[in-house]
Amino acid sequence: MAFEILAEEGKARAGRLTTPHGVIETPSFVPVATWGAVTSLTMEEVRSLGSQVLIANAYHLHLQPGEDLIHRMGGLHRFMGWGGPIMTDSGGFQLFSLGAAKEHGVGKIAPIFPGDRGGHLKRGRGSSLVKLDEDGAEFTSFLDGTIHRVNAETVIELERKLGADIVFVLDECTSPLHDRAYTRAAMERTHRWALRAMAQHGKNPGRQAIFGIVQGGAFRDLRTESARFLAGLRFDGYALGGSLGKSKEEMHGVLEWTVPLLPAHRPRHLLGIGTVDDIWEGVDRGIDLFDCVAPTLMARRGTVFAKGEKGFKVRLMNARFREDHGPIEEGCTCPACRKYSRAYVRHLFAAGEGTAERLASLHNLHFMEEMMREIREAIRKGEFGAMKRRWVG
């Protein structure tokens, strides 16, 4: 893997990430293909929208259909029918979701910032399905209740069998409600796992790049310690994961403390974050790659992106769209907007027709890819700051 920075404006940078399965122009949004598919869309459709790279989930694919089967089928690229670059997440967040997230009542999208909910923070009522120890993690499958165990080494071997271009190490995610002592312990365990993962990867590196994951919650000294430690391990790239604080303002602080300490000649990935304003703020602070389920998850719930709307969101089930002849977004050239009205797509949602989800997903991913293209072009022209003010103020 090779990474080249082509232009910079402040901390924002436009680059080119070359992988065995193609080039990724950065900054880039990475659609989530958890089970080896972007929900409701074909690979041809995803490619036609301009998507350059996908991220699948090693945890889910381990449970079904299994990494050995995928390996026998020729690897994840052939199995999925996707010829471009693929990343695989290690499953650290999924272990968090089955464990601390259930206990603390935090989730994947907005609820990951519990302070944005208003009122007092409350712990959840769920029971953990994960047991963590120094070796790794034991968890109960949400599919059939079987018991599985993973550790730093087995995850690297799992991802090797899947054959992704970029793999992430196993880490321990922490919750915004974890205290400093636990967050430090989890960070140090993540560091020890990172060392083990690097050693395992070195035994059979192949053509896979490996990314380390910076932890430390919203504690400045822990984040800086983690960034410095991982920077010294010479990963091919770096990701920021775990708790990013109780609000988006705290997340911005985490990025400002951490990103400058990471090697400038390596790509930086912000895990699980990818709403419109988050991307502009992340790029402004030096992030190159973003992944998030938000575009397709929101589409399944009838919410689409549009410029000029509050939060860039339009809820199509709103009664005002019942007889709206206009497209989902004026001026959009996506397949949905070229042919269909808001009224029609709203009707499909009301009727429970699956085509509604497909059309909304096509629009949302197209919106994200067009926005990323504008960001890259603005950085190259030295106009990112002005463009950001027009988009998000």
- What CATH number did the domain enclosing 32 receive? 3.20.20.105
pLDDT for the residue 95: 72
Q: Which residues form the domain of 355? A: 293-385
Asked whether residue 391 is domain-assigned, the answer is no
Q: Which residue has the higher pLDDT, 58 or 98?
A: 58
Asked whether residue 115 is domain-assigned, the answer is yes
Please choose, from the candidates 368, 365, 275, 366, the residue with its C-alpha nearest in 3D space to the C-alpha of residue 38.
365
Euclidean distance between the first and the last CA atom of the chain, given in angstroms as a whole number: 36
Calculate mean pLDDT across residues 70-78. 98
Calculate mean pLDDT across residues 41-46. 97
Q: Is the pLDDT of residue 270 over 70?
A: yes
C-alpha dihedral sign at 17, 15, 286, 282: negative
What integer best gives the mean pLDDT of the chain? 91
| Amino acid present at 122 | K
Asked whether residue 181 is domain-assigned, the answer is yes
Q: Is the pLDDT of residue 123 over 70?
A: no
> Of 248, 265, 292, which residue constitutes the final position of a domain?
292
pLDDT for the residue 121: 43
Same-domain pairing of 16 and 135: yes
Asked whether residue 390 is domain-assigned, the answer is no
Same-domain pairing of 187 and 78: yes
Residue 250: which region, alpha, beta or left (left: phi > 0; alpha: psi -120 to 50)?
alpha
Q: Which residue has the higher pLDDT, 107 or 129?
A: 129
Q: Annotate 255-269 with b (16+ C-beta within 10 A) or e (fewer).
A: bebbbebbbeebbbb
User: How many domains does the chain contain in total?
Assistant: 2
pLDDT for the residue 307: 94
> Of 292, 311, 341, which residue constitutes the final position of a domain?
292
pLDDT tens per residue, range 171-187 = 998 888 889 999 999 99
Calculate mean pLDDT across residues 363-385. 98
pLDDT for the residue 114: 57
Same-domain pairing of 240 and 93: yes
Same-domain pairing of 338 and 310: yes
Residue with tokens 């391990």: 233
Same-domain pairing of 192 and 336: no
Same-domain pairing of 308 and 288: no
Same-domain pairing of 276 and 169: yes
Q: Which residues does the annotation mark as catalytic?
A: 89, 291
Of 18-32, 81-95, 279-293, least confident by mean pLDDT is 81-95
Q: How far apart are CA 116 and CA 104, in angstroms?
A: 15
Model confidence at 101, pLDDT cuts 50, 70, 90, reads very low
Same-domain pairing of 254 and 299: no
Model confidence at 97, pLDDT cuts 50, 70, 90, reads low
Same-domain pairing of 340 and 192: no
Q: Which residue has the higher pLDDT, 70 or 123?
A: 70
pTM of structure: 0.92
Asked whether residue 393 is domain-assigned, the answer is no
Asked whether residue 103 is domain-assigned, the answer is yes
Calculate mean pLDDT across residues 294-311. 95
* Cα 166 to chain centroid, rounded: 13
Residue 328 contacts residue 336 (beta carbons within 8 Å): yes
Asked whether residue 392 is domain-assigned, the answer is no
Same-domain pairing of 286 and 339: no
Contacts of residue 77, Cβ cutoff 8 Å, sequence gap at least 6: 21, 83, 86, 163
Asked whether residue 235 is domain-assigned, the answer is yes
* Top-confidence range, 114-123, 159-168, 205-214, 245-254: 159-168
pLDDT for the residue 115: 58
Residue with tokens 């994961």: 241
Angle 287-310-283 from CA coordinates, rounded to 5°: 10
Same-domain pairing of 11 and 143: yes
Same-domain pairing of 226 and 91: yes
136: three-class secondary structure by DSSP: strand
Residue with tokens 């910079």: 8
- DSSP, res 115: G
Residue 280 contacts residue 375 (beta carbons within 8 Å): yes
Model confidence at 126, pLDDT cuts 50, 70, 90, reads low
Q: Is the pLDDT of residue 370 over 60?
A: yes
In DSSP terms, 166 is beta-bridged to 87, 209
Calculate mean pLDDT across residues 312-338. 97
Q: How far apart are CA 365 and CA 373, in angstroms?
A: 12
Model confidence at 92, pLDDT cuts 50, 70, 90, reads confident
pLDDT for the residue 96: 60
CA dihedral angle for residue 43, residue 23, residue 230, residue 248, rounded to 10 degrees: -60
> Of 235, 270, 292, which residue constitutes the final position of a domain?
292
